[in-house]
Structure 1
Amino acid sequence: MEKEEEEVIERNWVDLLPEHIPLIQEKLSEICDFVRFRAVCKPWHFFSPVSDLPLQFPWLLRNSRGPDLEFYSIAFNKLYTIRTHCPSINFFFGCVGGYLLTGQANNANSFSLLNPLNNREVSLPVLHDSNSFNFASKFSWYNTLNFQIGDYLLFFENETSVRCKPGDDRWDIIGPRCKGQYWPYYFKGLLFMVECCTGILKIMDVSAHKELYVIPPPEHENMARGYFAGPYLVESCGEILAICHRRSYWYTDFKFYIHRLEFGNGKGNPCWVKLSSIGDRILFLQIHQGRRSRGLCLRTSDCAGFKGNCIYFTINLLDFDFGHNYLNMHDMGNGVTTVINTPFGEKDEISWFMPTLTHM
């Protein structure tokens, strides 16, 4: 007796059970695949909120006027060209997390944050008595690479420190800017001011308008050879790291020095503790001559296939004899720095960009 042929049951993927959708999403590590998945049908779109998007490995943005912007994904070795719906009279003035500052350098009333992946935009309040050109050129360097849309934005000018959240109708003064040349950072209600010449750190409570600590700079061995820069601060998994580096004249050899700010039990002054390793963390730094450097941190659990205890960093050079920008990876374990090839030219200015779909 012949075997009866098994009945083939055709299934409609639209009827996929909602509890199975997150299992598929976990496999979509690239944001573009996530967008395509949500576009298949209405049920998949409904059960795939953008808040469930897996944390992305940072992209590189080639800074340009637009409207076509080029992004490079290191993780997937892909180059994306994305067209923005930005007025042609506006310029792009740098990245703040997954958003771009747009506006006109001579118009203080024109600035906004644009998410180029969904073309959603939020206007920034006018900062009165501020030079609009200075605002455009310095704004992104005062704000972190891991900025999210609900965080505060900072700006410092005319001896005054101000902050606002996207969507606010005004900037709030949070204190006088310390006299002298300082690089400011803002973490969880505290203002960190690093004196450029000495590396001395001042910590202020923004709400109380009170100076809490004055901390000497991290100690380093003799820096007689090479060019030394830092410290610059990065928030890393709830900790504050101070990062310094020494480089050779030709930008071929680097050595990084990392310290963690230890608050202890709240008694006495915080102090810097040297780290020989950053464990399973990956640092992403944007180093710029003549400006403060900034960065962000991810764990290897968020970046499958990537090695921890490493630093990916871009170097922005003012001396065009060396080229403009380079992407490098420094292994903290063996001290080796490797140049990473990208589709961008040496004269192209590049910035880290954190792809996101979230908005207000």
Structure 2
Amino acid sequence: MADWANLPNELLGLIVQRLSLFDDFIVFGAVCKSWKSVSDVEAKPPSPPMFPWLILAEDGDKEDERIKDKEFIQSRRFFNLSNANVYEFQLPEASSRRCLGTHFGWLFTLGLDLQISLLHPFTRHQIPLPPQPTFSDQYEPSGEFGPEDVRYIFIRKAVLSSNPWKKTTEDYERQDCAVMTIYGEVSKLAFARLGDTSWTNVQVPSRAYDDIAFYKGHFYAVDCHGVAVVCDIDDDRNPKALVIAPAPKGSRDHFLKYLVESAGDLLLVSRIREFSDYESEEVMKEEKHPYLTSAFIV
């Protein structure tokens, strides 16, 4: 029989570099220690899976019980929608950090130190972004919000223009990717390119943006009214958003708005939520989120 565990590292490296499926990459590193060591060194982030992997929230109760367990503190769990399994990975880079999903398998992370970075959870490669204090609009200091609260509410969404991972001979190219965010108390738009030292606001015709998407070479956004805009960020001194579609007839501000690409088109999806009809006031008081989704309008 072949001694699979002792295949030459050069051969294993060539195999890893040709993997394109996300699940194959994970399984390759799980074969044995020697294969895992090669995948850690040689691997590039594979294509995203057909079904998303969802990062699960850190369990506060279990963290209190096992606070002395360093392995627990440094791990995060992911749920695989394709097989309904939960996987746990050593990921100290994400410990106690706010994690937002982006495209191409990267996480947008924000810590109590207000540092921001892109993190690939399965290769643990990080790319620094400008820190939170470089946004032009900050929450006013008050007793209502502490640093931990601001970490969770400051940035609502982040979207990448392209995959920032481009392996060269010695390092990773970081020129062809921009990150757009919805941030702040009034949900403004700001962006940064990899290598920037601060975030740049986009001049917008309104505020309170619900969603952003990168579509056919441009960032698009929709506000709470349903007005869609396209962002022109080619001129760093005067980035602005132009209205391309008015709010649909019958749109309401309390409908949650999403931009979704489907079959080559960009769609505006409104989620309608209605107040739950509880039988007793006591039950309603115990429910933290008394609204239920009743319909979608596309």
TM-score, structure 1 normalization: 0.50
In the other structure, the counterpart of 2:116 is 111
TM value normalised by structure 2: 0.58
Change (3 A) 1:140 1:49: same
Distance 1:42 1:71, change over 3 A: closer
Check conservation: 2:109, 2:116, Cα contact below 8 A: yes
The alignment partner of 1:243 has SS state of strand
Gaps of 5+ in 2: 61-72, 140-146, 166-176, 278-284
> Does the Cα contact within 8 Å between 1:67 and 1:85 map onto a contact in 2?
yes
1:64-116: CA deviations, max 9, x gaps?
274332222221222222232249xx732122333241311xx44x3333333
Residue matched to 1:273? none
The alpha carbon displacement at 1:176 in A equals 2.3
Pair 1:84 & 2:78 matched? no
Give the aligned partner of residue 215 of structure 1. 245
Determine the C-alpha separation between the residues in 2 that align with 1:233 and 1:53. 22
Residue 136 of structure 1 aligns to a residue whose secondary structure is: helix
Task: State which of 272, 279, 296 in structure 2 corresponds to 1:246.
Answer: 272
Indicate whether 1:192 and 2:220 are aligned. yes
3-state SS of paired residue (2:234)? coil
Confirm or deny that 1:142 pairs with 2:157: yes
Structure 1 residue 41: deviation in Å? 4.6
Counterpart among 51, 54, 57 of residue 63 in structure 1 = 57
Q: What CA distance in whole angstroms lies between the structure 1 residues aligned with 2:213 and 2:22?
A: 33
Counterpart position of 1:33: 27
Superposed, 1:229-308 pairs within 5 Å as: 229-236=255-262, 238-247=264-273, 249-250=275-276
> What corresponds to 2:287 in structure 1?
321
Shift of residue 33, structure 1, vs aligned partner: 0.8
Does structure 2 retain, via aligned residues, the 8 Å contact 1:59–1:73?
yes
Q: How far, CA to CA, are the matches of 1:125 and 1:70 in structure 2?
A: 27
Q: How many residue pairs end up in the alignment? A: 241
Tell me which protein shows more helix as a share of its residues. 2
Percent of pairs with identical residues: 17
CA distance in 1 between counterparts of 2:271 and 2:265 reads 19
Change (3 A) 1:86 1:228: closer
Does the 8 A contact of 2:260 with 2:268 survive in 1? yes
Structure 1 unpaired stretches of 5+: 1-9, 252-318, 333-360
Give the direction of change, closer, same or farther, for the CA distance of 1:183–1:237 in structure 2 (3 Å limit).
same
Counterparts of 1:21 and 1:69, CA distance in 2: 27
The answer to whether residue 162 in structure 2 is matched with residue 154 in structure 1 is: no
Per-residue Cα deviation, 1:26-65 (whole angstroms, up to 9, x for no partner)? 788455313225965599859x843555635212222227
1 or 2 for the larger relative contact order (CA 8 Å, sep ≥6)? 1
Going from structure 1 to structure 2, the CA distance change for 1:59 and 1:204 (only over 3 Å counts) comes to: closer
Partner of 2:287, secondary structure, is helix
Separation (CA, whole Å) in 1 of partners of 2:45 and 2:126: 18
Give the root-mean-square deviation of aligned CA atoms: 4.9
Among 108, 112, 130, the residue aligned to 1:125: 130
Structure exhibiting the larger radius of gyration computed from Cα positions? 1
Pairing partner for 2:232 from 196, 205, 212: 205
Match of 1:315 in 2: none
- Counterpart CA distance in 1 for 2:185 and 2:286 is 31
Q: Tell me the equivalent position of 1:175.
A: 202
Distance (whole Å) between structure 2 residues aligned to residue 43 and residue 72 of structure 1: 24
Q: Is the 8 A contact 2:261 2:267 kept in 1?
A: yes
